[in-house]
Amino acid sequence: MKIKENISLKDFNSFGIEAIAKFFTIISSTEQAQEISESLIIEKNNSLVMGGGSNILFTRNFDGLVIKNEISGIELTNETDDFVFIKCGAGVIWHELVLFCIERNYCGIENLALIPGCVGASPIQNIGAYGVEVKDVIHAVEAVPFFDSKIISFSNNDCHFGYRESVFKNKYKNQFIITSVTYKLKKNPVFNISYGAIPQELERMGVKDLTIKGIALAVINIRNSKLPNPKIIGNAGSFFKNPEISIAQYEELKIKFPSIVGYPTDKSNVKIAAGWLIEQSGWKGFREGDVGCHEKQALVLVNFGKATGADIYKLSERIIESVFQQFQIRLEREVNIY
């Protein structure tokens, strides 16, 4: 394991933003995570663990240590009549894990196909798509704290999952190196196709007998049709969270905006489609210089080539203010800002 100085992070973040890390290292094992956690170079409030770099926006150089997590490995650790337990290294590409499970008919994450990033980010962000959140299948998370070589295991409850939230994004932000995640997946599939355009895509595909492979393929087709490839156009996928508002506020808005898109979350709240709010505010397809809002999905802010992180951040500020002025709903960023 080598620690390098003054390394460009442009190739390590999906926005393709130029930023310099004062120190940079790659870890590929739990032992290396333990070694680096005890290193004198670790600074609790100025160290950053990165996976695929697909949910991050650098607005300036990083004056500390960036740890690129490339811990690999996927293994079956336990099995019952109904479930399998799959332990996966934090550096594994998320979609590769999805494909691994689909090939073996392990059910639970097929709706999360093609989400960018690595396994280690899944509990941090509580990644989700098309009616599924990863919190529903996470069994345990192993992590090494900064300044200590011991391995700590977090149960599902310990992670305090919320909508795109967890203890690793709040209380313990930048305090742990996640080394592995264990998922509890069903052996007998329970299909979830009620969200978004999945039913229509399955019909277009001519699927008559549902399988998790068919659902994953439908999700892949939908994502490819709406979301830009970060290798071609810099982006971090959905930039904003879908906001939750009260049913009362939703009913008031529905009178003024009959086509507003909302999904009840419980007896008192409704989740509003942030993409709809942004599109209705006139931002979809917007471009100014090398920064813009994608023409097919308003949730996605893009770098057309030479935009800076500050440029993208400023655009997000304008969008947040514009949506608030029109709907009295304040959007929150899903992307981590540095």
Asked if residues 67 and 177 have their Cβ atoms less than 8 Å apart, the reply is yes
Residue 238 annotated in active site? yes
Cβ atoms of 253 and 312 within 8 Å: the answer is: no
pLDDT at 180 over 90: yes
Q: Are residues 86 and 177 in the same domain?
A: yes
Active-site residue, selected from the candidate residues 122, 238, 281, 316? 238
Q: Is residue 310 one of the residues assigned to a domain? A: yes
Q: Are residues 30 and 85 in the same domain?
A: no
Sequence letter at residue 141 = V
Specify if 144 maps to a domain.
Answer: yes
What CATH number has the domain bearing residue 325? 3.90.78.10
Considering the domain architecture, whether residues 78 and 182 belong to the same structural domain is answered as yes
| Contact indicator for 70, 177 with CB cutoff of 8 Å | no
Say which of 110, 164, 180, 333 is annotated catalytic: 164
Count how many domains the chain has.
3
pLDDT tens digits, 235-265 = 999 999 999 999 999 999 999 999 999 988 8
8: which residues sit within 8 A by CB, 6+ positions away?
18, 19, 20, 21
pLDDT value of residue 84: 97
Match 């949730």 to its residue by tokens. 299
Q: Which of 142, 201, 244, 334 is catalytic?
A: 334
**Chain center to CA of 87:** 19
Check whether residue 265 and residue 289 sit in a common domain. yes
- 43-88 confidence digits (pLDDT tens): 655 889 999 999 999 999 999 999 999 999 999 999 999 999 999 9
Lowest mean pLDDT among 84-98, 135-149, 185-199, 315-329: 185-199
Q: Do 277 and 259 form a contact (C-beta atoms < 8 A)?
A: no
Question: Does residue 142 carry a catalytic annotation?
Answer: no
Is residue 334 part of the annotated active site? The answer reads yes
Q: How many CB atoms lie within 10 A of CB 119?
A: 28
Q: Is residue 198 in some structural domain?
A: no
Identify the domain containing residue 95 by its residue range.
74-186
**Position 203 in a domain:** no
